[in-house]
Structure 1
Amino acid sequence: MTATLARPELDDTAFARLEAEGRLLNPLLKGPTNKFGRVGFRGELALRFAPKLADEARPPELMCTQVLAIANVGEKHLPFFAGYLLSFEHLKDVAEVLGDALSAGGKYFLYCNNIDLSKKYQVPYKGAMFYVLPIDEATVYNELLELFYIDKGDLKKKDTAGKLDAIADAALKFDVTFDTITYSEGLELMGPVRNPNENRPV
């Protein structure tokens, strides 16, 4: 199914606006999971669009990649969202794009490339609490398995939706606390932004 067609399964969830705005990109999964009433998304979230030139559709200027998220039919908030950011400063963009889909009780995890590898924080922003964690070479998926003590072997026989369900269920129960800092404190603490294209063959 192409992205231009309506996705009725997303319509009555917190994904509806994001889908209508064309922000749910390159999905490994975008639709019902194996849990009744739950819709899942694994892919990329467009945070900032490039100006359109005539009919040319250009890739977004800013993305939150490696996104894992769920929504429940009939609910306006995302209970769980995780993703990867090159820079901590883009937490603001994520919070603004998700907007009214965020809630005080939601579990939101952002892995940032320019956070000290020995630190983990909680950052309140726009009425939600974000877990901000460092990432080096691993993927968000693998980092979440480690954070939630999920054995990779236990997920082997599950499909993409089943794997997302297992991670989301663990996220919803996660209640570990880290040092709480403000967004502006995080901006002062963050390191330089790594060039994602360095060390790649041209």
Structure 2
Amino acid sequence: MTLSIQDTAFARLEAEGRLFNSVLKAPTHKAGRFGFRGDLALKFQAKLADEARPPEIACEQVIAAANAGEPQIGFLCGFLLSFESLKLVAEVLGEALSPQGKYFLFCDNIDLSKRYQVEYGGATFYVLPIDEATVYNEMLELLYLEKTELKRLDTAGKTDAVTERALAFKDSFPKISFEEGLALMGPVRNPYENRPV
């Protein structure tokens, strides 16, 4: 029997049209595991007629994995333009979050020298700065995974490698509340600034 997204905690997100720009939305090589790599829509723009508009706010460069038959997503990481969007991530994922899950959010507007743990919506989020790199590269560095060792793997294989190591992640960072994080965060950068029109 082939594993379908409908058998996993991704099913509702897929039905709501929140999983987009995917480079992986398929079973991985580990039996019973379904992987997703792409973007997660957090807030949709108002739709006019049937035009497809990009979401107003998204969690980008997401790498996530869920097991068949389990109501929750065990691992997820992604990029947020603003720390404030952590609240949206928790609200959108809702019951798909697990107190035992490993969730990593790389935020563009937190101090580059800081890392935090924030409890929100019944789950713990590891909040980290993004240092000019991609979420994938940041995760490899955080989890001590060698890029060269993963080079030969396909996207599903790389997702498995990151997931396995992330699920075993035991480090802890200073704990702050969501409100404290809001007070600490910097201004939100406009990603479209200085781009040729």
Measured against the shorter chain, the TM-score band is over 0.9
Q: Please provide the CA RMSD for this pair.
A: 1.1
CA distance in 1, matches of 2:47, 2:196: 29
Q: Could you list the per-position Cα deviations for residues 138-183 of structure 1 after superposition, in whole angstroms to 9, with x for gaps in the alignment? A: 0000000000000001001100000000000000000000000000
What fraction of aligned residue pairs are identical, expressed as a percent?
67
Aligned residues: 196
CA distance in 1, matches of 2:107, 2:89: 12
CA distance in 1, matches of 2:6, 2:16: 13
Tell me which residue corresponds to 2:95: 100
Partner SS for 1:133:
strand
Partner SS for 1:136:
coil
Unmatched segments (≥5 aa) in structure 2: none
Shift of 1:67: 0.2
CA distance in 1, matches of 2:176, 2:132: 25
Partner SS for 2:126:
strand
Shift of 1:59: 1.5
Shift of 1:199: 2.8
Alignment of 1:1-20 (within 5 A): 9-20=4-15
Shift of 1:8: 6.5
CA distance in 2, matches of 1:85, 1:201: 23
Alignment of 1:157-176 (within 5 A): 157-176=152-171
Are 1:185 and 2:165 counterparts? no
Tell me which residue corresponds to 2:192: 197
CA distance in 1, matches of 2:15, 2:116: 32
TM-score of the aligned structures, taking structure 2 as reference length = 0.97
Unmatched segments (≥5 aa) in structure 1: 1-6
Tell me which residue corresponds to 2:80: 85
Does the aligned pair in 1 maintain the 2:3–2:68 contact within 8 Å? no
Are 1:110 and 2:105 counterparts? yes
CA distance in 2, matches of 1:14, 1:196: 31
Does the aligned pair in 1 maintain the 2:116–2:128 contact within 8 Å? yes
Does the aligned pair in 1 maintain the 2:59–2:89 contact within 8 Å? yes
Tell me which residue corresponds to 2:22: 27
Partner SS for 2:73:
coil
Are 1:40 and 2:13 counterparts? no
